[in-house]
Copies of this chain bind each other. A is one copy, B any other.
Amino acid sequence: MADSRFFSASAPISIGDLAALTGASVSGESDKTRLFSDVAPLDRADSSHVSFLDNTKYLTDFSASKAGACFVREKFATRAPAGMILLVTEEPYYAYALAAQYFYPREAFTPAISPAAHIAKTASIGAGCRIDSGAVIGEHVKLGKGCWIGANTVISDGVEIGDDSRIGALCSISHAIIGGRAFFHRGVHIGQDGFGFAPGRGGVTKVPQLGRVMIGDDVEIGSNSCIDRGAGPDTVIGSGTKIDNLVQIGHNVQIGRFVFVVAQTGIAGSTHIGDGAMLGGQSGFAGHLSIGAGAKIAAQAGVMADVPAGASYGGAPAQPIKDWHRQTVAITNLVKKRHVNE
């Protein structure tokens, strides 16, 4: 289903193998050797495609879908169109992701160092790397095995990047030690000075930014996101953390493992985010805060104080999300009452 100008699918796979791969159960008496050639959205799939239903907003699309098979929760099975093979699972989106990964594994590449890349003699480049044209690799840089550095990306002196990492086009990285399997999109800037100025007699003076950016394994960073280096302590991003586009991470911020940071979020200096926290889009965090592990922060929240582990917060100033919802209702009622009284 995916456009062959941009994607190429693996060989077809039987529905039985797909079920085994994803942990789903094939419904009824279906022929488990039947082959499927691709994944596709409900409204565009045909009989050779596997689709999924995860959000009830798409139940109508599900009932009208021509997909040959579909990952679906058991409770929606009765809504399926006739003839559709059901791949029953309580995690349809997760199972779909595994199926899609089968058809479209991570893009392979041919190792090659572009003659138009600029690589310092003291840089150490692991086996099997690809470095595209216009890329700049500074002195004493260490790239692990199997890395891909995109076109026109600039890696400054001393930076270390672990095995199997992919740095997109037009990124810059300095003052950073990065783990394996990094996946940075385009226009990511890591390691620049934090925004550090000290007021005093004689005006404001710049505070030298003397820390680094330490990034764990399996970290994904979205396009045009910025991570400033530490001012003295390091800025730290834990393994498994995923950061969306246009995110700002200030100096000395410490983000734990498996944190999700949605687009356009900003985290001011020295704030700590616990493992597994989820930060909604456009949320903002004041400096020097502690956000507990597993906290969930709503989109656009303005977080001005510590958040306990596991708590859900929203609003600005951010507060427990139930309180925020109650206040929204109370304010609505306030106006309604006033209108009644007028």
Contacts and interface: CB of A to CB of B under 8 A. Distances in A.
Given A41-B232, A326-B338, 10 more contacts: A55-B288, A93-B200, A94-B198, A95-B200, A97-B207, A103-B208, A170-B172, A186-B192, A204-B240, A326-B339
A152 B154 contact: yes
A100 to B, nearest CB: 4
A157 interface: yes
A121 interface: no
Interface in A176-213: 185-187, 189, 192-193, 195-201, 203-208, 210-212
Interface residues of A, number: 112
Q: How many copies are assembled?
A: 3
Contacts of A304: 299
Interface stretch (A12-20, A75-83, A259-267): A259-267
Interface of A: 1-3, 5-7, 23, 39-41, 43-44, 55, 57, 91, 93-98, 100-101, 103-104, 114, 116, 118, 132-134, 136, 140, 150-152, 154, 157-158, 168-170, 172, 174-175, 185-187, 189, 192-193, 195-201, 203-208, 210-212, 220, 222-224, 226, 228, 232-233, 240, 242, 244-246, 248, 250, 258, 260, 262-264, 266, 268, 281-282, 284, 286, 288, 299-300, 302, 304, 316-317, 319, 323, 326-328, 330-332, 334-335, 338-339
